[in-house]
Amino acid sequence: MAFPTLPVDRARTPTVAEVRLDHLRHNIRTLQRLAAPAAVMAVVKADAYGHGAARTAPVLAEEGIRQFAVATVDEGVALREAGITGRILVLGAPLPGALPTYQHHGLEVNVCSQAIAEAACQLASPATPLQAQLEVDTGMGRLGLAPEDVPSVLAQLREATGLEVSGLWSHYATATSPDDAFTAEQWARFAAMVRGLPGPLPPLHIGHSGGLLMSSEATPPFNGHPMVVRPGIALYGIAPAPALADAAALRPVMRLVSHVTQVKTLPAGASVSYGRTWTAPRPTRLAIVAAGYADGYPRALSNTASIGLHGVLHPVVGTVCMDMCMVDLGPPETARAVEPGDTAVLFGTGGPPLSKVATWADTIPYELCARIGPRVPKVYI
């Protein structure tokens, strides 16, 4: 299936997110090889981490992905409307009254408490079947059953008519480096719980992007039992932690670009933007870029980040505004020639890497991708 490029008028929409579908294909093939013999469940929550689930999920399906994970029921329904026919696990805990929607759209329920298990058993029937996966808390401290409660809940679900248990899973809290002791501890807890369960068991999964890239210990075969891994951020060419940046030859899928709208010369001593947080130490050429925090370029990047212009990084000066930011081009006599309409790379090829921008903003790449504003269209390449 070929996806047309969105009809974006760059004169009217100066800031866009460019999404490389060929890089996405490269990444999923790379991760499938790393995961083998485990199957891959692609995590496409938060609109595929800001990359557009309706466009990226079908590409992943073309590459053989048959299992997907989202955070909310509406995200699962949107995948169905985009033509996804594979399994879709909703990672969030279902709210009261939501289970009929799971049935109608064939979504898998995350059974992470006794109350959810009881509600699922009461609702499921041969005429209106329901699929469920059990989440066990091995140390994340978030959603999930206590390991000692899993045997009784699993038995309860198995006894219910019209209810299929399609997975048993947990989530790593600190899988960010090859020598992470807590990750090994979580795996040991998960494995010990599994060994105490009567078979046959559904597919098991605990490894996410960090677990998969960290080492094969994240997804070892359990006596030949079917295993699944759940890469999320790695699908989009982003390492989940700096220590894993070279763990696989992944390619960034997104580049965020804007355009220069004005170039001006400031005299020495002139201040820039709200709060006058930056003052020109000398006569300065200044480029105004049409991207701000409403586009997902954080205010925390004020006087901290750099933006790429003609392949050269220039510092952001002054407070990042809702709709624009300012770039120091240097003294007028040595400033690089920049004109209105020139491309400004906020992150990606020709600008700083996303990981560096996240460090400047004191956050993580996940957040920067997910917070790109709704007025920023995506161009699929």
Give the catalytic positions in this structure. Answer: 45, 274
- Distance between CA 372 and CA 51 in Å, rounded? 9
Handedness of CA 275, 278, 281, 287 (dihedral sign): negative
Q: List CB contacts of 216: < 8 A, sequence separation 6 or more.
A: none
Cβ-in-10-Å burial (0-12, 13-18, 19+) of 31 comes to: buried
Cα–chain-centroid distance for residue 206? 17
Q: Which residues of 267-287 are buried (b: 16+ CB within 10 A; e: fewer)?
A: eeeeebbeeeebebeebbbbb
Helix (H) or strand (E) holding 152: helix 150-159
Assign 344 to helix, strand or coil. strand
- Distance between CA 135 and CA 167 in Å, rounded? 8
Q: Which two tokens stand for residue 245?
A: 């940046």
- Distance between CA 208 and CA 75 in Å, rounded? 19
Q: List CB contacts of 298: < 8 A, sequence separation 6 or more.
A: 320, 361, 363, 368, 371
- Distance between CA 57 and CA 44 in Å, rounded? 7
Handedness of CA 8, 291, 323, 368 (dihedral sign): positive
Question: Side chain identity at 104, as an amino acid letter?
Answer: H
E-strand stretches of the chain: 16-19, 39-43, 67-70, 87-90, 107-111, 130-135, 163-169, 204-208, 227-230, 254-266, 271-272, 278-279, 284-289, 306-309, 312-317, 325-330, 343-347, 378-380
Contact 151, 199 (CB under 8 A): no
